[in-house]
Amino acid sequence: MNERILCVDDEPNLLAGIQRTLRKQFQLETAPGGEAALALLEKDGPVAVIVSDMRMPGLSGLQLLAQVKERWPDTVRVMLTGNADQQTAIDAVNEGSIFRFLTKPCPPETLATAFTAGLAQHRLITAERELLEKTLNGSVGLLTEMLSVLDPVQFGRCQVLRDQARAVAGKLNLADGWEVEMGAMLHGIGRVTLPPEVAARARADASLSEAERTMIRRLPEAASNLLAHVPRLEPVARIVLFQDKHYDGSGFPIDTTAGRDIPAGARLLKILIDLKALEERGRSRRDSLLTLRERAGFYDPDYLEAVAEVLAPGASRPVLAIPFRDLRAGHILVAEVVTRDGMPLISGGNRVTPGLLQRLHNFSDTSGLREPIYVEG
């Protein structure tokens, strides 16, 4: 567990005094100024607690703690200063989100109390984050596994979109890239709310009633509502809600949101979904990208060019033909998997999960599968 405490001050004697009196109680490190503190954090990683003097040459304590808040938000921040005026305290709290505000001279026992409280606060912050992450990972895992079993074709499409979203988000240096990936992976989860007969007709491009078409149009809203109840997935829910929104403001949902007010992940997802749809109709990627460029007002032009650059037609990975007994979780299917009598089970593009593998084993034991199975090498 990280229990390191970093003390920052331009007075060497003060730092030496803190080390001398408190080093046996705490894991103390020191830095003689703001720039030195940032260099240490960049080299050795974040600390549990940082205690900084307010007035230092160069980078002030207020500027230092504001940067720490931005770059290492879990680090608990304490301000130590000889300037006890009210405005200094207000600025420190507002700009650096200070946990404690101490004034000089500060007795060792007061510092020790602040250190102990800061470490307890850091344990609380990290424990809460770990709990949320476990809840998030478990919830996402359950949702994706449910999708893989209920709609394996859609699941395979989502896997492809997620991998593409990851690549393009990296090119665009999008913040919170995991939100974009989760949006791509879970954007179709709303389909589980469709009556089975409507879902079947929609997949077959059969004629739908007006009520059924309304259901299809509102699938992003249904998906967003499902995701909004999962802790920390609220931004993903917003990406999913706006997945059908055009850059010029038209499309679903019907509101005034347009341009860069549309979530970045949704702007990217809209392009990738439409590109995938054209390719599934037999269009080449080159022709599909040309078609997207011809749709005035539909897409963020910068994002469209990034997609074209990252996903430009190139050499494909080798294809392996393997017996079903050699199929493992993690394999990417190149071709559709069907039963021996021709019933389609899973489309190409799916990454095999444990749930999908078990489903195939069940069909293999009852109906048999056509072999070999074609996967990426």
The band of 80, judged by pLDDT with boundaries at 50, 70 and 90, is confident
**CA-to-CA distance for 112 and 293, rounded, in angstroms?**
63
Mean pLDDT of 43-57: 91
CATH code for residues 4-127: 3.40.50.2300
Looking at residue 213, its pLDDT comes to 87
Looking at residue 376, its pLDDT comes to 80
pLDDT in tens, 234-277: 899 999 999 999 999 999 999 999 999 999 999 999 999 999 88
Looking at residue 334, its pLDDT comes to 76
Q: Find, among 153, 184, 360, the residue nearest to 264 by Cα.
A: 184
Looking at residue 87, its pLDDT comes to 64
The band of 84, judged by pLDDT with boundaries at 50, 70 and 90, is low
pTM higher than the cut 0.75: no
Q: Is the pLDDT of residue 232 over 80?
A: no
Mean pLDDT of the chain: 85
CATH code for residues 316-377: 3.90.105
Sign of CA dihedral 261, 262, 263, 269: negative
The vertex-263 CA angle with 299 and 332, nearest 5°, equals 75
Q: Letter for the amino acid at 334?
A: V
CATH code for residues 151-314: 1.10.3210.10
pLDDT in tens, 280-332: 777 778 888 989 999 999 999 999 999 999 988 654 567 788 999 999 988 88
The band of 95, judged by pLDDT with boundaries at 50, 70 and 90, is low
Q: Greater confidence, 7 or 229?
A: 7
Q: Greater confidence, 296 or 191?
A: 296
pLDDT in tens, 125-157: 887 677 666 666 666 776 777 776 667 777 777
Exposure letters 186-203 (e unless 16+ CB within 10 A, then b): bbbbbbbbbeeebbebbe
Looking at residue 317, its pLDDT comes to 61
Tell me the two tokens of residue 256: 């005034």
In a 10 Å sphere around its CB, with 0-12 CB exposed, 13-18 middle and 19+ buried, how is residue 322 labelled? middle
Q: Greater confidence, 194 or 263?
A: 263
The band of 96, judged by pLDDT with boundaries at 50, 70 and 90, is low
Mean pLDDT of 64-77: 90
Q: Which of 6-10, 325-329, 350-354 shows the lowest mean pLDDT across its residues?
A: 350-354
Q: Is the pLDDT of residue 104 over 90?
A: no
Contact 140, 179 (CB under 8 A): no
Domains of the chain, by residue range, sit at 4-127, 151-314, 316-377
Q: What is the DSSP letter of 204?
A: T
